[in-house]
Structure 1
Amino acid sequence: MNRRILTGGALALTAGLALAGCSDASADKASDKPELPELKVAGAFIPEPAMDTMASGFFTVTNKGGADKLTSVTSALAEKVTLHSTKGNAMKEQKSFAVPANGELDFARGGNHLMFEELKHKPKQGDKVAVTLHFEKSDPIEIEVPVKAATYNPKPGKHTSH
């Protein structure tokens, strides 16, 4: 009889530990959920273009959350808006750009930039252009991008919020 009680007690203890282990595992899984991105766009501008057919665009995406990816950009200003990187003197079209967790994605002269191609009209300094940024995880972000002087080049860290 003592053996039966000991065996039953051991089984109950083992089952209790197994259940406790399961609840701890599910608590770990809940905390392992990927953090959602928290995106803000600042410092956006389009230099007044010299040509009637294309323009460039710049901005910074700040992320205070989990990683995301900029997948495309749209605007009524142009038939298409493409993403580009510049390394050395070579410009290359990109399908997307990573927005790092708790980091920034910077589009600046001499680096990453947008190309507004097949412009529907040539924007002038002082105009504002509606632009929508599309992301893999986050909802689209709509911004009004001011057209600045062709020579405008803000100092790093001097972006204004949108």
Structure 2
Amino acid sequence: MRRTAVTAALLTGALALAGCGSDSAADSKAESKAGSKAEISVSAAYMPQPVSDSMAAGFLTIANKGGTADALTSVTSDIGEVTVHETVDSAMQEVKELPVPAHGELVLKSGGNHLMFEKLKRKPKQGETVSVELHFAQSDPVTVKMPVKSATYTPHSGH
């Protein structure tokens, strides 16, 4: 019994030491690469409750704290088709991608660039959430839970 306990303690100690060694090596590699790749995060996501049975819009802010620019290339959702739109001179048009600058933000907001949900399988109601997956040219996909707000909701932060 005592031998088993000692063996277990030795194995645990060896694993902990091995883990520490490889973790710090991985940490230094990650730190050396930190400024050279995109670091994507998403905030301020919401969908105004759709007034149409077949279309809705979505808004959010994508921040990139990394040193490399990226691009939002597509969006998927289980409630319908999603396209990325830009607004230029009050006219909206579908685009293949929107840039996410290094050390910057891509802001999707009412009256500007936005997500367009079409061919809705169901009409989301205020208080529900809609799940979307954002796809990027360089970064891994990001899943976002988008709360459904009132049709007249306006965020306070301007996003």
Which TM-score band (shorter chain)?
A: 0.7 to 0.9
Q: When the two structures are superposed, what TM-score results if normalisation uses the length of structure 1?
A: 0.74
Q: Does 1:75 align with 2:68?
A: no
Give the Cα separation in 2 of the matches to 1:139 and 1:105. 17
Q: 2:71 is aligned with what amino acid?
A: K
CA shift, 1:133, in A, is: 0.1
Report % sequence identity. Answer: 55
Runs of 4+ aligned structure 1 residues displaced above 3 Å come to: none
Distance 2:150 2:89 in 1: 25
Task: Extract unaligned runs of 5+ from structure 2.
Answer: 1-31
**Amino acid in structure 2 at the alignment position of 1:140:** P
Letter in 2 for 1:73: V
**C-alpha separation in 1, matches of 2:56 and 2:145:** 15
CA deviations on 1:6-49 (whole Å, 9 max, x unpaired) are xxxxxxxxxxxxxxxxxxxxxxxxx9xx8110011000000000
Alignment partners' CA distance in 2, 1:139 and 1:121: 28
The equivalences for 1:43-122 within 5 A come to 43-65=44-66, 66-78=68-80, 80-122=81-123
Unaligned 5+ segments in structure 1 are 1-30
Q: 1:42: which partner in 2? A: 43
Distance 2:98 2:90 in 1: 19
Tell me the matched-pair count: 127
Q: Match of 1:144? A: 145
Kindly name which structure, 1 or 2, has the bigger radius of gyration based on alpha carbons: 1
What TM-score comes out, normalization by structure 2 length?
0.76
| Equivalent residue letter for 2:53 | D
CA shift for structure 1 position 87:
1.8
Look up the SS of the partner of 2:135 in the other structure.
Answer: strand
Alpha-carbon offset, residue 90 of structure 1: 0.7
Instruction: Give distance in 2, aligned partners of 1:63 and 1:129.
Output: 23
1:134 alignment partner AA: H
Structure 2: distance between partners of 1:112 and 1:134: 16
Rounded to whole Å, the distance in 1 between the matches of 2:92 and 2:106 is 17
